Amino acid sequence: MQPALIEFRHIYKVYGRGEAAIKALDDVNLTIAAGDFVAIMGPSGSGKSTAMNILGCLDVPSGGEYLFQGISTANFSREQYTLLRRHMLGFVFQGFNLLARTSAVENVELPLVYRGMEARERRQKALAALEQVGLKGRESHTTQELSGGQQQRVAIARAIVTDPAVLLADEPTGNLDTRTSIEIMDLITRLNKERGITVIMVTHEEDIAAHARRLLRFVDGKLASDSDTDAEGDGHVA
Q: Which residues pair with 58 in a beta bridge?
A: none
pTM as predicted: 0.91
Report the pLDDT value the prediction gives residue 37, as an integer from 0 to 100.
97
Closest C-alpha among 68, 96, 75 to residue 166: 68
Q: Which residues of the chain have pLDDT under 70?
A: 1-3, 231-238
Q: What is the CATH number of domain 6-228?
A: 3.40.50.300
Report the pLDDT value the prediction gives residue 237, as an integer from 0 to 100.
34
Closest C-alpha among 65, 62, 61 to residue 4: 65
Strand 37-41's sheet: what is its strand order? Answer: 89-93, 166-170, 198-202, 37-41, 214-219, 222-228
Residue 15 burial (C-beta neighbours within 10 Å; 0-12, 13-18, 19+): exposed
pLDDT tens, residue by residue, 115-165: 889 999 999 999 999 999 999 999 999 999 999 999 999 999 999 999 999
Q: What one-letter code names the amino acid at 182?
A: I
Q: Are 72 and 65 in contact (CB under 8 A)?
A: yes
Report the pLDDT value the prediction gives residue 238, as an integer from 0 to 100.
30
Helix (H) or strand (E) holding 108: helix 104-114
**Rounded distance, CA 167 to CA 157, Å?**
11
Q: Which residues pair with 8 in a beta bridge?
A: 30, 66
Rg of the chain, C-alpha, whole Å: 18
Residue ranges per structural domain of the chain: 6-228
Q: What are phi and psi of 109, to 5 degrees?
A: -70, -20
Report the pLDDT value the prediction gives residue 1, as an integer from 0 to 100.
53
Q: What are the helix and strand counts (H, E) for the chain?
A: 7, 10
Report the pLDDT value the prediction gives residue 234, as an integer from 0 to 100.
44
Report the pLDDT value the prediction gives residue 19, as an integer from 0 to 100.
84
Which residues does 52 contact at the CB level (< 8 Å), separation at least 6? 40, 168, 170, 200, 202
Bridge-based pairing state of the strands 89-93 and 214-219: unpaired
